[in-house]
Amino acid sequence: MRPAQALALVAAFGLAGSAAAFADNDVPGADWMPQEQVIQKLEAAGYSNVTGIHADDGHWEGKGVKNGQITEFEVDPRSGSFLKEEIDRD
Protein backbone atom coordinates (compact mmCIF):
# COMPACT_ATOMS: atom_id res chain seq x y z
CA MET A 1 0.00 0.00 0.00
CA ARG A 2 1.31 3.44 -0.90
CA PRO A 3 1.84 5.98 1.90
CA ALA A 4 -0.90 8.28 0.55
CA GLN A 5 -3.42 5.43 0.53
CA ALA A 6 -2.44 4.41 4.05
CA LEU A 7 -2.84 7.97 5.28
CA ALA A 8 -6.27 8.28 3.64
CA LEU A 9 -7.35 4.99 5.23
CA VAL A 10 -6.19 6.07 8.69
CA ALA A 11 -7.97 9.42 8.31
CA ALA A 12 -11.19 7.75 7.18
CA PHE A 13 -11.25 5.41 10.17
CA GLY A 14 -10.38 8.25 12.51
CA LEU A 15 -13.22 10.42 11.22
CA ALA A 16 -15.69 7.54 11.37
CA GLY A 17 -14.76 6.90 15.00
CA SER A 18 -15.10 10.59 15.83
CA ALA A 19 -18.52 10.79 14.19
CA ALA A 20 -19.72 7.84 16.26
CA ALA A 21 -18.43 9.45 19.44
CA PHE A 22 -20.21 12.72 18.69
CA ALA A 23 -23.44 10.94 17.83
CA ASP A 24 -23.50 9.31 21.27
CA ASN A 25 -23.25 12.74 22.91
CA ASP A 26 -26.26 14.08 21.03
CA VAL A 27 -28.80 11.75 22.65
CA PRO A 28 -30.45 12.75 25.95
CA GLY A 29 -29.52 10.43 28.80
CA ALA A 30 -32.11 8.37 30.64
CA ASP A 31 -31.58 10.50 33.76
CA TRP A 32 -31.95 13.84 31.95
CA MET A 33 -34.69 16.35 32.68
CA PRO A 34 -37.32 16.20 29.90
CA GLN A 35 -37.04 18.88 27.24
CA GLU A 36 -40.46 20.29 28.19
CA GLN A 37 -39.31 20.82 31.77
CA VAL A 38 -36.16 22.58 30.56
CA ILE A 39 -38.30 24.92 28.46
CA GLN A 40 -40.42 25.71 31.54
CA LYS A 41 -37.25 26.60 33.48
CA LEU A 42 -36.06 28.77 30.59
CA GLU A 43 -39.38 30.61 30.49
CA ALA A 44 -39.26 31.11 34.27
CA ALA A 45 -35.79 32.64 33.79
CA GLY A 46 -37.16 35.18 31.29
CA TYR A 47 -36.73 33.38 27.97
CA SER A 48 -39.33 33.41 25.22
CA ASN A 49 -39.37 31.95 21.69
CA VAL A 50 -37.11 29.06 22.71
CA THR A 51 -35.95 27.26 19.57
CA GLY A 52 -33.49 24.63 18.53
CA ILE A 53 -33.25 23.04 21.95
CA HIS A 54 -31.35 19.78 21.62
CA ALA A 55 -28.90 17.49 23.39
CA ASP A 56 -25.29 18.35 22.63
CA ASP A 57 -22.10 17.14 24.30
CA GLY A 58 -23.75 16.23 27.59
CA HIS A 59 -26.07 19.21 28.05
CA TRP A 60 -29.20 20.86 26.62
CA GLU A 61 -28.42 23.65 24.17
CA GLY A 62 -30.47 26.11 22.14
CA LYS A 63 -31.51 29.71 21.58
CA GLY A 64 -34.22 31.98 22.84
CA VAL A 65 -35.07 35.63 23.33
CA LYS A 66 -34.10 37.14 26.69
CA ASN A 67 -34.23 40.84 27.45
CA GLY A 68 -35.08 41.51 23.81
CA GLN A 69 -31.93 39.82 22.50
CA ILE A 70 -31.38 36.42 20.89
CA THR A 71 -29.42 34.47 23.45
CA GLU A 72 -27.68 31.10 23.23
CA PHE A 73 -27.81 28.87 26.29
CA GLU A 74 -26.49 25.62 27.68
CA VAL A 75 -28.37 23.93 30.51
CA ASP A 76 -27.31 21.16 32.86
CA PRO A 77 -29.48 18.17 31.92
CA ARG A 78 -30.09 16.99 35.48
CA SER A 79 -30.45 20.17 37.53
CA GLY A 80 -31.68 22.59 34.88
CA SER A 81 -29.12 25.18 35.97
CA PHE A 82 -27.49 27.39 33.36
CA LEU A 83 -24.00 26.44 32.25
CA LYS A 84 -23.74 29.23 29.68
CA GLU A 85 -25.76 32.22 28.51
CA GLU A 86 -24.42 34.34 25.70
CA ILE A 87 -25.92 36.91 23.34
CA ASP A 88 -25.96 35.47 19.81
CA ARG A 89 -23.68 37.63 17.66
CA ASP A 90 -24.33 35.72 14.41
Task: Compare 90 and 70 and report the one with higher pLDDT.
Answer: 70
| Threshold 0.95, pTM exceeds | no
Count the Cβ atoms, other than its own, within 10 Å of residue 64: 23
> Looking at residue 6, what is its pLDDT?
42
3-38: pLDDT as tens digits: 545 444 444 444 444 444 444 568 999 999 999 999
Q: Please, which pLDDT band fits residue 90 given cuts at 50, 70 and 90?
A: confident
Tell me the pairing of strands 82-87 and 47-56: unpaired
Find all residues with CB under 8 Å of 68, minimum gap 6, and list them: none
pLDDT tens profile 41-81: 999 999 999 999 999 999 999 999 999 999 999 999 999 99
All domains in the chain, ordered by first residue: 3-87 (3.10.450)
pLDDT attached to residue 41: 96
